[in-house]
């Protein structure tokens, strides 16, 4: 016996740790495509039990059956364990404790291999009738059922049950049933349904033996237990939540409301009226303002003609994002700050504290979030910023987001190698006279320099050109990007023939197959011109 228990325990461990793999230990039997669960009966009294039958579970494994119920206002889990057969089936009994609050509960069965299935069961209030006495009151909810037990009658005689329920429309409905007692004069599990429009109050349920004429009674206290649910349980500003109600008075009118707070601190009440259907249920939606403040709120459904009401909690939350472009930057450059998921119409405050040569400088920006909570702003890094990493934050009354910006120091520019210059076209000149000499320096470039050989889009590049002739002259410069974009300048050098330029590398200027930008230079001096070239790479 001990060896058998040890084997079962070992098997359970293998199942729970996933060691029963194909090609390894293969349990006998067959597992159906999907696990399923059946309950018999599907309605039980508080203190009663149901038979649970499952199929499609892991053969020879262990299965756990459980349900979470309300007992005396507290949540409690009832559970049963069983062994699955080689065919993947099992049978078990699940008992619900006495005092379980009436309602519909979910029964769940799981095994260690991950198979699971669920089924719903109704736990009913119990009215116990005993001949010659009057039982204490049992709560009875309209449209719901009551489990009735009766004792003290003659063996096998028919027992009639009767209760008259006043209705809100001014009429009344009489519920009648007949059931045969057993050999001991008792009967159990008679189910009566309370009329949907029954008025709140006390009703007497009477049981009468048709042969013995013996009687007994129980008191039914008719109450309404309306409930509402809000979905999703957590919603974003500017969206709508769905409110579902049940167990209200059929045909009644409910006022569905929620008190909320705007981003500016002003409070308001949202909501409207809705009519319950013939079963006392309704479904409606409530729109949340785009600038509602994040927090937890209460939705309330109130019968406009009665004291009946129900509440449910829901949350308003945001999950803002923040991105920086570029995420690595040099002093004096500007970073683009963008993101979404803030409340529409809320003010977004953007800030970063940046160490500089003179201490710390706080740079800020402010913008208003648009549709979907999207926002865009710019921060300029001080020209004297120190190298390092700083936190950029974006915040509203609804939340905040953060990202890290990396600051690098400008590298020392290094001249690039100058490619051979194009040979200028000769121009006609006068034939020098004997004993006369003439020398003119060749027009071209002494050097061409770019500061960075690799650049990120959105950052600044610097180019320098130095003519071989130290005079002011015209210069024409083009930067050609792989995607066809180009930038052009027609300017003049300084008096020494030097020219330099800072410019921004455009976004998306590189292609999937080419990331080299070409710079072309042309000097103008009379009819003489010379082209020269340089290039830099774009980091994709």
Domains located in the chain, CATH noted: 28-122 (2.60.40.230), 126-222 (2.60.40.10), 227-316 (2.60.40.1930), 323-407 (2.60.40.230), 445-538 (2.60.40.10)
The pLDDT value recorded for residue 257 is 97
Q: Which helix (H) or strand (E) is 173 found in, with range? A: strand 172-180
Q: Please report which confidence band the pLDDT of residue 175 belongs to, taking 50, 70 and 90 as the band edges.
A: very high
Site of tokens 């053969």: 59
DSSP category for residue 471: S
401 and 322 in contact (C-beta within 8 Å)? yes
The pLDDT value recorded for residue 412 is 55
**In degrees rounded to 5, what are phi and psi of residue 168?**
-70, -20
Residue 152 above 60 pLDDT? yes
Cis before 41 (ω within 30): yes
Q: Please report which confidence band the pLDDT of residue 425 belongs to, taking 50, 70 and 90 as the band edges.
A: very low
What is the share, in percent, of the chain residues with pLDDT greater than 90?
Answer: 50
Site of tokens 């209030």: 125
Lowest mean pLDDT among 55-69, 188-202, 356-370, 420-434: 420-434
Instruction: Concatenate the DSSP letters of all residues of 31-64 into one string.
Output: --SS-EEEEESSEEETT-EEEEEEESPPTT-EEE
Residue 372 above 80 pLDDT? no
Residue 123 above 90 pLDDT? yes
Residue with the bigger pLDDT between 408 and 411: it is: 408
Residue 369 above 50 pLDDT? yes
The pLDDT value recorded for residue 5 is 43
The pLDDT value recorded for residue 131 is 93
The residues facing 368 across adjacent strands are 347
The pLDDT value recorded for residue 242 is 96
**Arithmetic mean of pLDDT, 26-34:** 46
Q: What is the pTM of this model?
A: 0.56
Residue with the bigger pLDDT between 341 and 21: it is: 341
Residue 368 above 90 pLDDT? no
Lowest mean pLDDT among 181-190, 284-293, 304-313, 514-523: 514-523
Do the bridges between strand 309-316 and strand 234-235 make them parallel or antiparallel, or are there none, so unpaired? parallel
Residue 153 above 90 pLDDT? yes
**Arithmetic mean of pLDDT, 49-72:** 93
**CA distances in angstroms from 183 to 151, 158, 180, listed in the order given:** 11, 12, 10
| Each residue's pLDDT tens digit, 291-313 | 888 889 999 999 999 999 999 99
The pLDDT value recorded for residue 116 is 93
């Amino acid at each position: 016996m001990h060896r058998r228990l040890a084997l079962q325990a070992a098997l359970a461990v293998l199942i729970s740790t996933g060691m029963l793999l194909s090609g390894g230990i293969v349990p006998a039997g067959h597992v159906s495509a999907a696990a399923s669960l059946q309950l018999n009966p599907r309605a039980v009294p508080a203190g009663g039990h149901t038979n649970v039958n499952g199929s499609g579970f892991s053969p020879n494994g262990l299965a756990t059956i459980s349900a979470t119920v309300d007992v005396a206002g507290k949540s409690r889990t009832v559970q049963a364990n069983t062994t699955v057969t080689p065919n993947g089936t099992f049978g078990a009994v699940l008992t619900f404790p006495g005092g379980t609050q009436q309602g519909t509960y979910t029964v769940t069965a799981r095994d260690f291999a991950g198979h699971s299935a669920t089924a719903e069961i109704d736990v009913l209030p119990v009215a116990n009738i005993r001949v010659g006495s009057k039982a204490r009151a049992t709560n009875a909810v309209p449209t719901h059922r009551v489990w009735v037990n009766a004792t003290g009658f003659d063996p096998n005689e028919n027992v009639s049950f009767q209760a008259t329920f006043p209705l809100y429309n001014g009429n009344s409905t009489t519920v009648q049933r007949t059931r045969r007692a057993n050999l001991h004069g008792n009967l159990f599990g008679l189910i009566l349904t309370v009329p949907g429009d029954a008025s709140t109050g006390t009703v007497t349920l009477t049981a009468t033996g048709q042969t013995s004429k013996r009687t007994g009674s129980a008191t039914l206290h008719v109450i309404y237990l309306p409930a509402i649910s809000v979905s999703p349980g957590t919603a974003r500003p500017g969206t709508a939540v769905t409110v579902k109600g049940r167990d209200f008075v059929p045909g009644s009118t409910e006022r569905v409301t929620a008190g909320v707070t705007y981003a500016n601190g002003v409070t308001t009440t949202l909501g409207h009226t809705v009519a319950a259907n013939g079963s006392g249920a309704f479904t409606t939606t409530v729109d949340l303002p785009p600038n509602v403040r994040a927090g937890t709120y209460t939705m309330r459904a109130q019968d406009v003609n009665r004291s009946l009401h129900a509440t449910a909690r829901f949350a308003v939350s945001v999950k803002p994002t923040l991105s920086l472009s570029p995420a690595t930057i040099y002093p004096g450059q500007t970073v683009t700050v963008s993101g979404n998921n803030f409340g529409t119409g809320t003010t977004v405050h953007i800030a970063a504290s940046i160490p500089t040569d003179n201490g710390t400088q706080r740079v800020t920006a402010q913008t208003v979030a648009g549709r979907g909570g999207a926002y865009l702003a710019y921060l300029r890094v001080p020209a004297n910023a120190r190298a390092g990493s700083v936190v950029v934050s974006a915040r509203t009354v609804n939340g905040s987001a953060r990202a890290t910006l990396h600051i690098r120091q400008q590298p020392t520019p290094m001249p690039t190698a100058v490619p051979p210059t194009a040979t200028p076209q000769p121009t006609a000149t006068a034939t020098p006279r004997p004993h006369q000499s003439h020398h003119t320096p060749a027009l071209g470039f002494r050097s061409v320099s770019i500061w960075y050989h690799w650049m990120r889009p959105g950052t600044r590049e610097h180019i320098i050109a130095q003519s071989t002739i130290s005079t002011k002259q015209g210069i024409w410069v083009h930067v050609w990007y792989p995607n066809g974009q180009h930038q052009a300048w027609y300017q003049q050098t300084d008096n020494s023939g030097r020219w330099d330029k800072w410019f921004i590398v455009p976004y998306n200027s590189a292609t999937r197959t080419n990331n080299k930008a070409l710079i072309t230079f042309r000097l103008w001096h009379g009819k003489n011109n010379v082209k020269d070239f340089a290039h830099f790479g774009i980091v994709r």
